[in-house]
Amino acid sequence: MGRKKSPGLFKRGEYWHIDKAVFGCRIRESTGTGNLEEAEKYFAKRIEEVRQASVFGVRPKRTFMEAAIKFLDENQHKRSIDSDAGRLRVLVQYIGKMPLDSIHMGALQPFIDGRRKDQVKTRTINHGLKIVRRISNLAATEWIDEYGLTWLLNAPKIKLLPEDDLRKPYPLSWDEQHRLFAELPPHLEQMALFAVNTGCRESEVCHLRWDWEIKIPELSHLMVFIIPPELVKNGEERLVVCNQTAKSVVERQRGKHEQFVFTFKGNPITRMNNTGWKEARKKAGLDFVRVHDLKHTFGRRLRSVGVSFEDRQDLLGHRSGRITTHYSSAELQNLYEAGNKVCEKQQSGVVLTLLRNPNNRKERDTNPNRKVISL
């Protein structure tokens, strides 16, 4: 005669499952095992957890892995969801099995040490610490379980590290731009040329779509795109007014793909900071230059030719409190003219004077442990 199982346990397929009401709480889940003895132990453990929570207010132990999965499930709409997932993949290697109430700065030290051993920048480590802090705060304030309890009683204090190794922006000179662009594959060269003439971020260039182009009948010579807020860092619509160079780049792409402006062999490009970019900058002797430096280059050039702060903010897509759809024709024309001021190489030498700090360049070139991280 076989062993008698506890009421509420039943077998579905290969595994034992639970379906039982305990202290007013319904438990419906798999035990994760096909062995009855192991299933009974798991069942007893779950009943005790429910009793502790319902009668004494003792929270069940939940791991960081469980919290990370919940966080990702609830934040599919976030612009940074892919970045968050990447950071969490690293974090769970260190604290994935750790109970949430055991996480503190000391418990995170192996993560910090491991990332430093990998020569990761402090800012990147802080991005990981920020997401741990965010998850902990949610667990202590907003995540309510089936017993009416928050996942955590109190959130730990997660301190960020001093960012002493921040990599400074490096706007390109015209000569450096020509050297770098000459080594880029044709499709990347066109994307880089667009970025350095619009100040668009890497993701904005890669995801640029034809249906974001806005026609302005009274200004037919203008080419304007409005990038939706979910793809913009500050969460606002991003107005892109193309100068003559950027407009020419876009026109050369027209007809190649129905949806995306920039493609390679008929497929959209997910990132510019790829092997082609890294090999090109090495050949050009500029292996410290990031894709994001193209945005800094555009901003510095606008400043050097006297474009106003407000116009620079608008052209660079920085938060300004203005609504992109409310620009007048005169304002759009003004932005177009401002952007055109940096289409051609300046002859005065002002740009080169503003861009150079020999000490920064020397430090980058002589530091053997230096590793460039694309943010």
pLDDT at 363 over 50: no
Beta strands at 9-12 and 15-22: parallel, antiparallel or unpaired: antiparallel
Place 154 in a pLDDT band, splitting at 50, 70 and 90: confident
Radius of gyration, CA atoms only, the chain:
27
Band (289; pLDDT cuts 50, 70, 90): very high
- Describe the strand order of the beta sheet including 25-30 as a list of residue ranges: 9-12, 15-22, 25-30
> Residue 31 in contact with residue 18, Cβ under 8 Å?
yes
56 pLDDT more than 70: no
Q: Which of 21-30, 74-83, 133-142, 346-355 has the highest mean pLDDT?
A: 133-142
Q: Give percent of the chain with pLDDT exceeding 70.
A: 86
> 58 in helix, strand or coil?
coil
Residue 197's CB is within 10 A of a number of other CB atoms, namely 24
Tokens of 315: 């052209």
How high is the pLDDT of residue 42?
Answer: 86
Q: Residue 250 burial by CB count (10 A; 0-12/13-18/19+): exposed, middle or buried?
A: buried
Q: How far apart are the first and last CA of the chain?
A: 65
Percent of the chain with pLDDT over 90: 57
Q: Give residue 347's pLDDT band: very low, low, confident or very high (50, 70, 90).
A: very low
By CB atoms closer than 10 A (0-12, 13-18, 19+), residue 129 is buried
Tokens of 75: 């934040």
Average pLDDT, the chain: 85
214 vs 228: CA distance, rounded Å: 12
pLDDT at res. 55: 58
Listed as own residue / partner, the contacts of 20-23 with beta carbons closer than 8 Å and 24 or more positions apart are 20/47, 22/46, 22/47, 22/50, 22/51, 22/54, 23/50, 23/51, 23/54, 23/55
**Integer Cα distance of 166 and 310 in angstroms:** 27
Q: Which residues pair with 227 in a beta bridge?
A: 238
pTM: 0.63
Give kind and range of the element (H or E) at residue 127.
Answer: helix 122-141
pLDDT digits (tens, 9 = 90+) for 198-251: 999 999 999 999 999 999 888 989 999 999 887 787 777 889 999 999 999 999
Contacts of 288 (CB under 8 A, 6+ apart): 170, 281, 364, 365, 370, 372
CA angle 270, 274, 278 (to 5 degrees): 155
306 has a pLDDT exceeding 90: yes
